[in-house]
Amino acid sequence: MAIKSWPESDRPREKLFKSGEHSLSHTELLAIILGSGAKGQSAVELARKILLKFGIFSSMSHTDIRQWKEFKGLGLAKIAQIKAALEIGRRFGEEKIRERRPRIESSRDAADILMPRMRGLKKEVFKALLLNSQNRLIEIVELEEGTVNQAHPIIREVFQKALEHFAASLICLHNHPSGDPQPSREDKEFTRRLLAAGKILEVKVLDHLIFGKNTYFSFLDKGLL
């Protein structure tokens, strides 16, 4: 049954304007982004199938196009709309954090800022928290997707951003898509190079965090810095 034939009080778009976006379910919000379903399938039904496959919104990020092909009525344009909406949500969250300029006093403070962004990613992503002399956040820098085997370009870009923002210190973060946050030999070598570069450029490296599934590893907490 097409959504336009539903009672107005049940239609996601009308419900949003009447009661506010906060009143909508995950399925209804996703249905609005989709805009339409397919023949014999409403946008709400399509949204429900997508959520059944991925479980949560964050699992839809950094996914291969092949993971979406099973959905009838879901072309590249709609997939792009979903991914763009998810990215807007993440960036909005980071903007709110920047506005607060929180003071980072522990690995937990850093992890709380980026755990929602980093957990569940399917590819390895690097970020850096740039801090001032009072350890207050200046900027959150996201680097190119890659691996620690590409250490030199990543380290160069990290410190280039740090110097541009006049950062006194930084915390480097990346994720392990496997879900295991324990550092590899390459992670340890990357951290050694990061510390060496920081000493030369007089930008202190306070920590290196590795995110797994709902957990993280801190080089500082483990006495490895």
Task: Give every strand in the sheet of 137-142, ordered side by side.
Answer: 137-142, 126-131, 169-175, 204-211, 216-218
pLDDT-derived band at 126, boundaries 50, 70, 90: confident
Integer Cα distance of 166 and 170 in angstroms: 11
Integer Cα distance of 175 and 118 in angstroms: 6
Model pLDDT, residue 95: 73
pLDDT-derived band at 105, boundaries 50, 70, 90: very high
**Pairing relation of β-strands 204-211 and 169-175?**
parallel
Q: Is the pLDDT of residue 147 over 60?
A: no
- Could you give the 3-state DSSP secondary structure of residue 182? coil
Among 56-65, 67-76, 101-110, the range scoring the smallest mean pLDDT is 56-65
Model pLDDT, residue 153: 63
- Please tell me the pTM assigned to this model: 0.68
β-bridge mates for residue 141, sequence order = 128
Integer Cα distance of 85 and 79 in angstroms: 10
On average, the pLDDT of the chain sits at 86
Q: What are phi and psi of 202, to 5 degrees?
A: 60, 40
